[in-house]
Amino acid sequence: MSQIRDNSSPDLDLPSTAKDPRYDDLALQGVAANVKLLLKLIQDHKIACDQDKNDHRRMLRVATMMTILDNAKDRIQKCQSFGLKKPDPELRRCKTDVRRNLVPPGKKPGGGVGVVPVVVEGEEVVDADEEKERLRRELSSSLAAQRTLRAMCSSLGKEKKFMEAELSKKVHELSEMEELLNNLKAQNETLRQKVQECLSDHKEGKAGGGEMHVALELQARNKALSEQLMRSLDGYKSMKRKLKASQEENVVLHSTVDEVGTKIVGSLGRVKSLKKRIATISSPSGGETPLDLQEEIEGLEDMFERFQMLVEKHGKRQGDCAQPSGEINAYKPSVVA
């Protein structure tokens, strides 16, 4: 190791270009764990909100999620700052005398004597600043994970308290339900005794037989009255339909009577004019001929024939009106009050 290397191989020199910047992914591993925990909390929060609208632990879960988000944001920012770090220094071989750092006896290393680093062939020199920075990052990630775990433990403690309160509430409700069941059992027993008493009374009444016979007679009479009532309702509906048809016929009759009245007025006018013509013919100075009188008489005969047809038509309609199928007795009541 004390020999002097006169000729160093230039082929072993490292390239002059800077290495690619190295990024530390230790912080990103913590971020992934936090993201998984955040997704789990979000899912639990959604399920709890869907099941219970008045969830008291909602604010606690939201605060835990905000803490995890802040922690993940800090780690991502630290990971982003690693890319701005200066590249590591390059190691070159040079024509120097590599000697041992002989410490004089009686002195400790570093006690005022300059320490010359020993470079051994095949080994790399570790940068102390880089090692400190790496340890500092691990320490910060560990502290952040510790804070996250502490927040989780506190949230779990609060959830435990809430669960204890809910369990105590459920225990109280169960005790109330047991008391209610006992009351219902007592009421059921009372009702069962009353039913047995009613059954015994019914058996005693059945042994007499008089009340049962009366009940059967009343049922038969009620059935007969029901059938009579149904027949009366059918007759009422039929009479209602006939009344409606009669009203329609009455309207047609009124229109016919009005038409006949107008025609009668016209016929009376023609009769009066005919009477005047007959009086004129009987006078010596009359200008009417018997032919004109015959035409007027034929016209009156035709008009009276039409009147006769209308009267016959109306009589036929009145004859076609339906008569009641059965006799309605006003003195026979259909329903017993």
Q: Which is more confident, 92 or 138?
A: 138
pLDDT tens sequence across 210-255: 667 778 888 898 899 999 999 988 988 889 898 888 888 888 887 8
Torsion (CA) 14, 16, 21, 26 in degrees, nearest 10: 20
Sign of the alpha-carbon dihedral angle for 276, 278, 283, 287: positive
- The predicted structure's pLDDT at residue 207: 56
Q: Which is more confident, 287 or 111?
A: 287
Contact 144, 75 (CB under 8 A): yes
Same domain flag for 139 and 259: no
Looking at residue 11, the DSSP 8-state letter turns out to be G
Can you tell me the mean pLDDT for 310-335? 53
Same domain flag for 145 and 252: no
Query: Which domain-ending residue is among 151, 168, 185?
Result: 168
- 330: in domain: no
- 260: in domain: yes
Query: Which domain-ending residue is among 141, 168, 195?
Result: 168
- 216: in domain: no
> How sure is the predictor about 2, in pLDDT bands with cuts at 50, 70 and 90?
very low
Question: What tokens does 85 get?
Answer: 């770090």
- 52: in domain: yes
0.85 surpassed by pTM: no
Q: Domain of 47?
A: 22-85+127-168
Query: Which domain-ending residue is among 168, 199, 231?
Result: 168
- 305: in domain: yes
- The predicted structure's pLDDT at residue 326: 46
Residue whose C-alpha is closest to residue 316's, from 327, 308, 306? 308
Residue whose C-alpha is closest to residue 313's, from 256, 247, 259, 241? 256
The tally of domains found in the chain comes to 2
Contact 124, 91 (CB under 8 A): yes
Same domain flag for 136 and 264: no
Same domain flag for 28 and 134: yes
- 95: in domain: no
Same domain flag for 44 and 133: yes
Same domain flag for 59 and 148: yes
- 180: in domain: no
For the chain, the farthest-separated pair of C-alpha atoms sits apart, in whole angstroms, at 194
- 187: in domain: no
